[in-house]
Amino acid sequence: MNKRVVITGLGVISSLGVGWKNFWDNLLLGKSGISEISSIDTSKHFTHKGGEARNFKPEAFIEKASIPYLSRATQLAFAASKLALNDAALNLDECDHVSVCLGTTNGSTQSIEHINDVITSTNGFKKLETHNELICQIPTNSTPAFISKTFNFNGTSVIFSTACAAGNYAIGYGYDVIKLGRSDIVLAGGFDPFIRFAFTGFNQFSAVAPDTCRPFDKNRKGMIVAEGAGILILESLENALERNAHIYAEVLGYGLSCDAFHMTASSVDGIATCIKKAIQEAGITLESVDYISAHGTGTLTNDKNECAAIKEVFGPRGKSIPVSAIKSMIGHAMGAASALEAVTCALAVKNDIIPPTINFETPDAECDIDCVPNQARAQVVNVAINNSYAFGGNNACVVFSKYKQD
């Protein structure tokens, strides 16, 4: 368990662009990836905006003949994986026992929606016999399986379905896989496509903002549903140094907790417990945390509870630690959310710049934190923590730091 784990590659598909550089540049500029939804009919819904990855072209990453057999979910995850592998400059012919650890909320639910459309349009199941490609897409584990098969990775292949914290769960598990010596290289992260099921569900909860996501703002009205994929190449430090790899950041540890409180609402105690566990696992002090990437959905309850938990953990300093919510720019990409935020933490640590929380106008006394309003901030970031919370009370927090030689 004494292996150190570093990040050597990043892959991003998001509403703010394809590739980590486009994503990062647009984050720092405070741009919004939110637009009118084009992939589904929203005429019968309360809201009509979302964070679609409009610049994503699957044919740029996947052989044309394979595309019909891959769900949108797998297409997103595979493309982000390919970007991350290229960024890490790995020679795959020399890589042995590579693992794939991914997280998702909905997986390939979109394929089930398509099957339902086929059944209802043909008044029966007979037509499905000519739609084998849809059947192949249904299993949630088909995504990591396809990635492993394509690249001939024979290490662990696993999927987590812990909703909107799934990306962080996968990163934490990938960290353990390396610490335990089971792999020297792990593709870890999360993915989710834009689907009717999620968009309709959150609309029915009245949890979706009609126009703009405003985390921590007094007039916040909810989240914005989005899609995307974020993949990190985790690598043992020994392996990374041996091949002279570029290192973005080091993963120091993570914390998990389950609220056992409510199916949808978060618990202040549960969030605080999760953060405390992560800090203890990482072996750092409260004073060493320079930046918190918030779950920050823009809903009334989540933002209030997250702020209360931060202040409970950090005391008076909780009001002054920079805490930004990139969901204000990219929307809530479900299982991909915390993975994209993990990419953000790695880049903030590497570049000493903190992205903003945009759309912030009116302070809220219950969210009296430093949310880095509207403008990116140049500041030394030695340690960043990434918060994520999910339906069912699943909480995950991962700690990142600058890589420093012993």
Length reported for the chain: 406
Catalytic residue of the set 213, 274, 332, 367: 332
3-state secondary structure 192-246: ECCCHHHHHHHHHCCCECCCCCCCCCCCCCCECEECEEEEEEEEEHHHHHHCCCC
Compute the distance between CA of residue 32 and CA of residue 39 in angstroms, rounded to an integer: 18
Angle, CA 401 vertex, CA 396 and CA 405 arms, to 5°: 140
For the question of residue 164 being annotated catalytic, the response is yes
For the question of residue 45 being annotated catalytic, the response is no
CB half-sphere exposure, 314, CA atoms < 13 A: 27
* CB burial readout 293-330, b (16+ within 10 A) else e: bbbbbbbbebbbbbbbbbbbbbeeebeebbbbbbbbbb
For the question of residue 295 being annotated catalytic, the response is yes
10 Å CB burial of residue 402 (0-12, 13-18, 19+) is middle
Catalytic residue of the set 95, 101, 164, 371: 164
Q: Retrieve residue 103's tokens.
A: 């997280």
In a 3-state reduction of DSSP, which class is residue 342? helix
3-state secondary structure 282-321: HCCCHHHCCEEECCCCCCHHHHHHHHHHHHHHHHHHHHCC
CB half-sphere exposure, 179, CA atoms < 13 A: 15
Q: Which of 16, 49, 3, 59 lies closest to 336 in space, CA to CA?
A: 16
Contacts of 375 (CB under 8 A, 6+ apart): 30, 356
Q: Retrieve residue 342's tokens.
A: 């993990």
Compute the distance between CA of residue 242 and CA of residue 244 in angstroms, rounded to an integer: 6
Active-site residue numbers?
164, 295, 332
